[in-house]
């Protein structure tokens, strides 16, 4: 009988000093833990091309992080913050709302000072996707992507300490703002819509991409617009009761063909990040190349597409940690994290990475 895992199985003690607050000096200067076997090797990310095989296929998530964090106030003067999760139409969005007292439906919120001060309005239309939803639907007074680009802030994770995550949110230093706008974005970001970066892909720079090409490693892209729900810890001890957040994905025809070609030549599918895994395995599970996914990958999951995974180090009790456990094996995952902590690897979005291979049934038992 297979082991039934609970939330407590995915907890670990992490020294706060290991939570990366800024990226490495260069993208590919971050460290890379080669965890494909029990003989762990400490490397740098620039070594990645030498660890892959000619004929392998790297699959990136080409989503682009938008400046989804917006600040404003109610007509009564109360401060509030919106984090746009999804653009629905030319004017409507879905967002998280941080406010002391929720305004009534129909209220026109004054964002960035409102129209009279160069800002805009966001009219509350109700909850989303239904009356019990945790998100809210708004109608913006202009095209959402344009407004976010003009008035928004990069939606950094809550564990990265900047002014924009405090009451002084609109006054982050220019140095931090410039760094985050450049580095909390992949070099191949293409399709706007993410409220968080696909962080394993942040380590790639042109030098690494050129070295991969010279090695004979192929590349392809999928799109999954990462939502802010990716940072939410699981709160139910019984994992079966966890309600996974929904994210939109798309796999273009050329990527499907690249996977077929990769299999034909005996190569491996290497997913860059958990978002690429969730996209590819959602397609394998549903047969749909585009749509919303709420796939929740825990130990015992049968991976049908991905053979190798490049990923960062994740939060305790997170769905991402559970995915890594399902992929590499539960005991192996804990051993990796013990090694990373003992050797002062940097954790989370601006942290270091590791390289993993899909587990055998014996390691996952």
**What residue ranges do the domains of the chain occupy?**
7-65+184-364, 69-152
Q: Tell me the pLDDT band of 180, cut-offs 50, 70 and 90.
A: very high
- Comparing CA positions, the residue from 155, 16, 159 lying closest to residue 84 is 155
- Comparing CA positions, the residue from 52, 56, 64, 102 lying closest to residue 80 is 102
pLDDT reading at 167 higher than 50: no
Work out whether the CA dihedral 143, 130, 70, 114 comes out positive or negative.
positive
Could you tell me how many residues make up the chain?
A: 365
Q: Tell me the pLDDT band of 262, cut-offs 50, 70 and 90.
A: very high
Dist CA 345 CA 351 (whole Å):
7
Proportion of the chain above pLDDT 70, given as a percent: 95
Q: How many CB atoms lie within 10 A of CB 278?
A: 28
pLDDT at 2: 67
CATH architecture of 7-65+184-364: 3-Layer(aba) Sandwich (3.40)
Please provide residue 98's backbone torsions phi and psi, each rounded to the nearest 5 degrees: -110, 110
Dist CA 193 CA 227 (whole Å):
9
20: helix, coil or strand?
coil
Determine contact, residues 138/124, Cβ cutoff 8 Å.
yes
pLDDT at 90: 82
Dist CA 348 CA 97 (whole Å):
24
Task: Give the pLDDT confidence of 208-248 residue by residue, as tens digits.
Answer: 999 999 999 999 999 999 998 777 779 999 999 998 988 99
Token pair 């900047």: residue: 162
Token pair 């050129």: residue: 210
pLDDT at 171: 54
pLDDT at 178: 87
Task: Give the pLDDT confidence of 269-286 residue by residue, as tens digits.
Answer: 999 999 999 999 999 999
* Structure tokens belonging to residue 326: 């399902």
pLDDT at 364: 37
Strands 79-87 and 120-128: unpaired
21 CB contacts (<8 Å, ≥6 apart)? 160, 161, 350
Average pLDDT in the 135-155 region? 96
The distance of Cα 124 from the centroid of its chain, to the nearest Å, equals: 27
- Kindly compute the dihedral angle of the four CA atoms of residues 241, 246, 252, 256, in this order, to the nearest 10 degrees: 0
Which ranges of 24-143 does DSSP label H, i.e. alpha helix? 48-51
Average pLDDT in the 303-324 region? 96
Q: Is the peptide bond before 173 cis (omega within 30 degrees of 0)?
A: no
* Structure tokens belonging to residue 225: 């617009």
pTM of the model: 0.93
What CA–CA distances, in Å, run from 26 to 204, 207, 249? 10, 11, 29
Token pair 């699959």: residue: 59
Dist CA 180 CA 202 (whole Å):
12
- Comparing CA positions, the residue from 359, 360, 358, 356 lying closest to residue 48 is 356
DSSP state of 245: P
- Comparing CA positions, the residue from 83, 80, 70, 147 lying closest to residue 107 is 80
pLDDT reading at 175 higher than 90: no
* Structure tokens belonging to residue 36: 């494909």
Determine contact, residues 329/364, Cβ cutoff 8 Å.
yes
Strands 353-357 and 308-312: antiparallel
Average pLDDT in the 191-218 region? 97
Given the candidates 1.10.10, 3.30.70, 2.60.120, 2.40.10, the CATH classification of the domain at 69-152 is 2.40.10
Dist CA 242 CA 255 (whole Å):
31
């Amino acid at each position: 009988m297979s082991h039934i895992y609970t939330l407590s199985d995915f907890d670990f003690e992490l020294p706060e000093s290991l939570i990366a607050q800024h990226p490495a000096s260069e993208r590919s200067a971050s460290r890379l833990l080669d965890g494909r076997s029990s003989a762990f090797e400490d490397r740098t990310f620039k070594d990645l091309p030498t660890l892959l095989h000619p004929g392998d296929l790297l699959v990136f998530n080409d989503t682009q992080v938008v400046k989804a964090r917006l600040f404003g106030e109610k007509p009564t003067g109360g401060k509030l913050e919106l984090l746009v999760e999804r653009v629905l139409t030319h004017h409507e969005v879905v967002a998280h709302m941080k406010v002391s007292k929720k305004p009534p439906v129909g209220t026109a919120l004054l964002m960035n000072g409102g129209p009279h001060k160069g800002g805009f309005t966001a009219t509350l239309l109700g909850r989303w996707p239904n009356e019990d939803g945790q998100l809210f639907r708004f109608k913006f007074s202009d095209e959402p992507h344009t407004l976010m680009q003009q008035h928004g802030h990069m939606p950094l994770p809550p564990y990265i300490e900047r002014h924009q995550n405090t009451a002084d949110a609109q006054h982050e230093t220019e140095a931090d703002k410039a760094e985050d706008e450049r580095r909390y974005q992949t070099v191949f970001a293409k399709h706007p819509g993410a409220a968080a970066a696909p962080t394993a892909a942040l380590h790639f720079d042109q030098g690494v991409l050129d070295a991969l090409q010279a090695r004979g490693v192929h590349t392809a892209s999928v799109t999954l617009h990462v939502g802010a729900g990716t940072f939410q810890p699981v709160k139910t001890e019984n994992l079966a009761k966890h309600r996974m957040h929904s994210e939109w994905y798309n796999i273009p025809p050329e990527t499907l063909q690249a996977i077929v070609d990769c299999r034909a030549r005996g190569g491996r599918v290497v997913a860059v990040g958990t978002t690429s895994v969730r996209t590819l395995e959602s397609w394998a599970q549903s047969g749909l190349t585009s749509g919303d996914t709420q796939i929740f990958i825990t130990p015992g999951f049968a991976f049908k597409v991905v053979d190798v995974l490049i990923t960062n180090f994740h939060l305790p009790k997170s769905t991402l940690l559970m995915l890594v456990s399902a992929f590499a094996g539960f005991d192996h995952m804990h051993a990796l994290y013990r090694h990373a902590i003992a050797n002062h690897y940097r954790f989370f979005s601006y942290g270091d990475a590791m390289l993993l291979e899909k587990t055998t049934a014996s390691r996952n038992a």
